[in-house]
Structure 1
């Protein structure tokens, strides 16, 4: 029995050839088919050079397990999510390594209605069957049909805005040579047909698996300059950059400044609560004060969940929440089967810019001034639990309120920190936020203080 190391907490991700190859992909497809026995599922892949062959191997495994496949071609993850709840299918698989390095690939798997398959909801069973290689023969093999989901997907996206209310906007869009470009082109056609006055300035637009402009990962500071510079050059109202499978988008204001995902959560909560007060908004525990402030101001109900898409989606389903947001730029929507999307957020922000007649910088500047934050800072440490305990012990004398929803959050009234071990990498992640009016100290000084404890 060969141990497969590409199975992670939320998805499949591994180094090409050594951890993930066509043989492994075939086994994943075969195991998915045998365990869930769907009649038909959707399969798509991102733009990476290895993705098409891995997708074909996965499809072969599914067909051999008796599953019919709708091959969506090159797609973002959310197009597979959309297909899995919109079409008459019982699941979906996207072959993608998102923002990982060139020599990686992976898969994201869902069941009917786009319910996530992660380590505690079926991924371990798929791993065990793929490792054991004990597959049943089926009487009738499945067939594969190509399917273009783009027109239906774009039609769905347009339901999040009221076209007649959109004011003229100029948007810089940076697909990072990833998979997002074809959706932007299709939206542009619809905007023109419906007289929606949004103009796109496209950079790094064409899908190219060699990633000539670097891996599409706008969370890395060094990857932000091209979007920022284009916003200033073209005097745009907003810049938008996506990761490789465009399930996350990152926003830049009209001054070319990158906006932390944390404040976008507040902005989207505001957008939904302006439409209807009383709705539930789910957020993660890493940074919370701004979200709580906005949700209270616009008469919503804030619900905290552990970080990670499987947890957020579950809590949203249980609470019937209209929206869920993580500071890591994952945004989830009830009308999108509780899945994350990198297309819906910027559409909602465009609508908010139109409705409020404000610039993006003015919409977020009060949030940033009121609740400055550090952004997520990662540390490589040999023993995460020892370090967390050291921080815990050091601050015990201050008697902070303690929350252990995800890692450890310590709230001192004027500032708070969250420290947690990464679910996907050998890292410790730190977030700090401050109440500007009460702190008397900068975020940076708290970061220096906690960093000294971590690296001691």
Structure 2
């Protein structure tokens, strides 16, 4: 078999047909079992029309390797993470394309303990074995076990993150994007209701539908945000929440339909944890940092910076026992959730935080935005990323008060700073700028850097 293009550094994504099909999925199942030495593997899938067949092909490969397949059925990626540890499995695979285009699908995989799998600890070996097809002889005993009831234990774990007694009457709009979120959210909402939470949920685009009649569920895109924003306003909700296709990311909207940028969500969730557990460690990425660092310092916590990307954040969290880690891309990680990301836990924490403060999300956010205005991530398509970064560095580094190369180039000038980094997957440069209380300075520096980069 020719080289498999669907293997990325930490997951699998490919165009259906030539890059990912049933035969390739079967090979991945066989290779995963053999490389991981697996006897029990959790298997979940999203709502895409091809996901059930691809999951079935993965299961065949696992079964031929003698594996007990713990089948979650339709579920979110974070349910695979949870079940892998909860069921003491040797690994987990969720067949999902998340927010990728309709002609794509993929897989997210973890090893024992729900730890990520990178090239150095298994992904490269799985790819090589799937390509060669040099599998060990098939063995008997492999079979499928229905593990869908694991959702009950998953919901119980999530309920441990929220103090129901602190919740006040509140109307929250939730947008499942016709992805996998709907049934899982219903189980969480039912648990909240039974616990006496006075929260009224309004559901839109809720039922799973792999044709995605409202568009691919990716609320990070500007063009997709009005679906939630308009519904929040129409329903008179106090907050809006929207998920992507496999709901490992969630996005927030205030009562006026205003989108809450991811860097401020990290700051708010850091506050939510430190208000309960002062002194804890908080992990953040290096793109936009000041709002998070300020609240962490104010509440007596310790801010720890990590490279962007789930594998790096998860490893830093495991190494430091940090209670929470967040990326401005809307991935949020939790020590008491196997240091894995979840899109449902942030919803619970944000609702509780707003209830505790007794103020609107918009009001809470306005203080952070005024103190630390930011540009948001601005992407530039360039042919030679390294050359552009070198040119910017030569121009700006001599004037900087501080520099950091945790991920890309970060330079600080006292009243403002920027982070410039190359995309790992596309010919893009990603720029983030923030300032201390001066939105005009952000706009000025963005125009200045844009001119240099585009030149």
TM-score range, shorter chain: over 0.9
Stretch of structure 1 that moved more, 210-219 or 2-11: 2-11
- Normalising by structure 2, we get a TM-score of 0.98
Residue 216 in structure 1 maps to residue 217 in structure 2? yes
Structure-to-structure mapping, 1:48-197, within 5 angstroms: 48-148=48-148, 149-197=150-198
Which residue in 1 is equivalent to 2:302? 301
Q: Deviations over 1:59-105 (max 9, x none)?
A: 11111111110110011100100101111312100001111000000
Shift of residue 138, structure 1, vs aligned partner: 3.7
Matched-pair contact (CA < 8 Å) for 1:82–1:336: yes
SS at the partner of 2:417?
A: strand
Q: Deviations over 1:392-414 (max 9, x none)?
A: 11213413421111011111111
Shift of residue 258, structure 1, vs aligned partner: 0.2
1:300 & 1:369 partners in 2: Cα distance?
22
SS at the partner of 2:203?
A: strand
Which residue in 2 is equivalent to 1:35? 35
Matched-pair contact (CA < 8 Å) for 1:242–1:250: yes
Shift of residue 57, structure 1, vs aligned partner: 0.4
Shift of residue 330, structure 1, vs aligned partner: 0.4
SS at the partner of 2:186?
A: helix
Which residue in 2 is equivalent to 1:257? 258
Matched-pair contact (CA < 8 Å) for 2:253–2:259: yes
Shift of residue 427, structure 1, vs aligned partner: 1.5
Structure-to-structure mapping, 1:361-400, within 5 angstroms: 361-400=362-401
Residue 445 in structure 1 maps to residue 452 in structure 2? no
2:121 & 2:371 partners in 1: Cα distance?
39
1:18 & 1:72 partners in 2: Cα distance?
27
Q: Structure 1 stretches of 5 or more lacking a match?
A: none
Which residue in 1 is equivalent to 2:17? 17
Shift of residue 34, structure 1, vs aligned partner: 0.5
Shift of residue 141, structure 1, vs aligned partner: 4.0
Matched-pair contact (CA < 8 Å) for 2:397–2:403: no
- RMSD of equivalent CA atoms: 1.1
Shift of residue 355, structure 1, vs aligned partner: 1.3
Q: Deviations over 1:8-60 (max 9, x none)?
A: 12210010012111111111110010011122011000000111000000111
Q: Deviations over 1:359-417 (max 9, x none)?
A: 11121111110000111111111111011111111213413421111011111111111
Shift of residue 440, structure 1, vs aligned partner: 8.0
SS at the partner of 1:274?
A: helix
Shift of residue 156, structure 1, vs aligned partner: 1.3
Residue 267 in structure 1 maps to residue 268 in structure 2? yes
Stretch of structure 1 that moved more, 137-146 or 34-43: 137-146
SS at the partner of 1:69?
A: strand
Matched-pair contact (CA < 8 Å) for 2:65–2:139: no
SS at the partner of 1:151?
A: helix
Which residue in 2 is equivalent to 1:288? 289
Which residue in 1 is equivalent to 2:429? 428
SS at the partner of 2:160?
A: helix
